Amino acid sequence: MRGALGRLLENIVRPPTPAPQARHGDQDAVVDCAVYAGGARRSGPRQIPYGEAARLAGRRGSFVWLGLHEPSRSTMTAVAEVFGLHELHVEQAVSGGHRPGVEVLGDVTRLVLRTARYVEHDELTATSEVVETGDVTILVGPSFAITVRQGPVGPLALVRRELESRPEVLRQGPWSVAYAVGSRMVDSYLDVAGHVEHDLDRIEEETFATVRSSEFSHIYQLKREMVEFKRAVLPLGEPMTRLLELRDVPPALHPYLVDVRSRLARAADRVGGFDELLNSILQARLAQISVDQNHDMRKIAAWAAIAAVPTVIAGIFGMNFAVMPGLDSRYGFWGAILAMVLIGGGVHRSLKKYGWL
């Protein structure tokens, strides 16, 4: 009795600490999870657990769209158990940083896209970050679409809202998610290309301006940034073509994917043009520096020639000879100065006439 009373008083003074609950993966990585059927979101605006969503998607004509952002390995493993993914899908989705491409493993198709975002800056410098990139992996199965995004670039909440407003596209099943994400990525490429084009215009104006800076390392910086941008855009052409050849892709989505491919080709052409323009600007800037250096050397040589005139005259009259013309004349000094001025002035006039000064 006394022992039970003592334990009761101890719990009142110091309440027992609840036992920690085991977490099933990193739940913060789940951005949204919903079930779609008949071109509409059937689970309502709320997010539902992906395990429950997978059970609901077993019905005919419905599918799950699970959105993940930088999931941990434990989270991705739990997702793989629910949706029957291969262990390679787990490894590839967690690691990130893959080249754009499309792979088919069993009944799951893996599509990798690179995300891109233009970084606003007032002035382009040697350390400016112009394009920030990441990647998104899309796993498309018979009744699910799982998007795994790595990096802060390219959030897909807007893509989900836009797709939910297009029931005729959403009705095509999980492949509609792949189309919507791919379309949004290509639009972001075109948007980045527009901003980069503005930067190139400013660099071109600075290069051919009357007064320009001798610093041109920012051109190399933009060229390095364009290499990263090219890695996101150019390799995606082949995967987009392969998507049109897959039998699992609904024929109703083919016109939309063709449109995405055409816009991607336009973005790739612009990126290729940027590279050529940057090379041209860089070559022009190097040629300008070479011309400026030659002009400076001509000026130095011209002033050296003018300075040689009084040096020669003073050197001649500075020789230690006992008999020299003009040494005993009262006008010898002023005559030497006059000769220096006249000859030096004549040399200066001639060099200026021929553009050396």
- Model pLDDT, residue 138: 96
Among 221-225, 290-294, 310-314, 325-329, the least confident range: 325-329
Mean pLDDT value across residues 57-80: 89
User: Does residue 309 register a pLDDT over 60?
Assistant: yes
pLDDT score of 213: 65
Q: Please count the other Cβ atoms lying within 10 Å of the Cβ belonging to residue 21.
A: 6
* pLDDT-above-90 percentage for the chain: 45
Q: Give me the pLDDT at residue 27, please.
A: 58
Note the helical H segments in 69-123. Answer: 73-83, 87-95
What's the chain's average pLDDT? Answer: 85
Q: Is the pLDDT of residue 268 over 90?
A: yes
pTM of the model: 0.75
Q: What is the token pair recorded at 191?
A: 């948007």
Please tell me which residue, 206 or 117, carries the higher pLDDT value: 117
How confident is the model at residue 288, as a pLDDT?
77
Residue 15 pLDDT exceeds 80: no
Per-residue pLDDT, 292: 78
Q: Is the dihedral of CA 203, 205, 206, 207 positive or negative?
A: positive
pLDDT tens digits for range 120-136: 887 787 788 889 999 99
With a cut of 70, say whether residue 10 has pLDDT above it. no
Q: What pLDDT does 215 receive?
A: 67
**Would you say 199 and 107 are in contact if contact means Cβ atoms under 8 Å apart?**
no
Task: Answer with the residue of higher pLDDT: 273 or 28.
Answer: 273
